[in-house]
Amino acid sequence: MPRLNKYIASTGICSRRKADELITDGKVSVNGKIITELGFYVREKDKVTVDGNTVKPQALEYYRFYKPAGYITTQNDEKGRKTIYDLIPAELKHLKPVGRLDKDSTGLLIMTNDGELINQMTHPSIKVPKVYMVTINGRFTENHAKEMFDGIEIITDTNEKKIAFAETVPIEVTNKSSVIQVVLYQGINRQIRKMFAKLGFEVKVLKRIQHAIITLEGLKKGQIKAMKPKQVKQLQSYLTKIMKDSENA
């Protein structure tokens, strides 16, 4: 018998942590009775409702998607812009992206209905690496790399000041342009573009090539492909290790 929070997470509506909040807020009922006990166990025949809606476990799905430029990472857009769901088959439109890529960026998006995994990969306290290949105008130097590693103050979309960090490895550098591998552990919107802008550069190309241990390899632009069970298991083991390391740090 699963715990109530795990049962709710298995329905795909949220993570276990969010399920705990729903339970303590009195929004979860089992067989018509409100349950606020976090350690409550659910039997197979029990009827569970969240905010009055019946929820049931679903088969968890995991896909890799190669986002092309010109599409935003959302399901609906009030401005009528193209979204990644214009490219995803109808039977997969229930999947959610793990994080986002801005309209002009390309590359890997993990798509899933596993709310627990989405929370683990995007929660600020869990440092999951995201790897990008970035082309900028101008010569990128060791001093620039040090500034990005030490932290650069940027303004977020909500007008907050934040210190943004990035690890960089120059791949190809000329006086006119530079190609750099960038690794992020934060999740600030348009972080890479804003960091390079503060250094006086313009980002010409930005492609995510890896998220955690999952890569873009074997995908074409606009293509979505199911992850192999072995890949999913390796990813889950990797995330478990990162969470343990963060707790022991």
- Catalytic annotation on 51? no
42 Cβ neighbours under 8 A, 6+ residues apart: 1, 2, 3, 4, 7, 30, 48
Give 113: exposed, middle or buried? Use CB within 10 Å, 0-12, 13-18, 19+: buried
Residue 77 is encoded by which pair of tokens?
Answer: 């857009």
Please give the single-letter amino acid code of residue 120: Q
Give the whole-angstrom CA distance, residue 148 versus residue 119. 26
Q: Looking at 77, 102, 104, 150, which residue is catalytic?
A: 102
94 Cβ neighbours under 8 A, 6+ residues apart: 12, 113
Give the whole-angstrom CA distance, residue 147 versus residue 180. 14
Catalytic residues: 102
